[in-house]
Amino acid sequence: STIDRARFKATIVSKGTKIDNLVQIGHNVVIGKHSIIVAQTGISGSVRIGNYVVIGGQTGVIGHVEICDGVKIGAQSGVTKSILKPGNYRGFPITEYTEFNKYLVRLRKIADRADKIIDLEKRLVER
């Protein structure tokens, strides 16, 4: 893992925080107490991460965003905006966990629905 040194301010990893292997933490990042950052995660510069945050593996966080206390981010997510409400999140762009799961269910059904639409269009032409 790599933690970049800040040039003017400080890069801070607070007490009790655990950082897995292959994690990149940019300059000026502040990570709160008792957070967990899992493998292959990249955190860009000047990010503020609260206390008791869990960031799943292969997650990317763009620079200059804030993640509040008590946030859990699922693996392979992309954080492109600040998360100001505690809860569970996943996906790209980052979405509340339950909303993202609904999206995945709908996505799996697209092929079946596309076939039904093609069939309906054929029937309309035949009339």
Is residue 64 among the annotated active site residues? no
Give, for 60, the enclosing helix (H) or strand (E). Answer: strand 60-61
Q: 94: which 2 tokens?
A: 């980052």
Catalytic residue chosen out of the listed positions 25, 26, 27, 29:
27
Among positive and negative, which fits the CA dihedral 64, 66, 67, 69?
positive
Residue 62 and residue 117: Cα distance in Å, rounded?
Answer: 39
- Known catalytic residues are 27
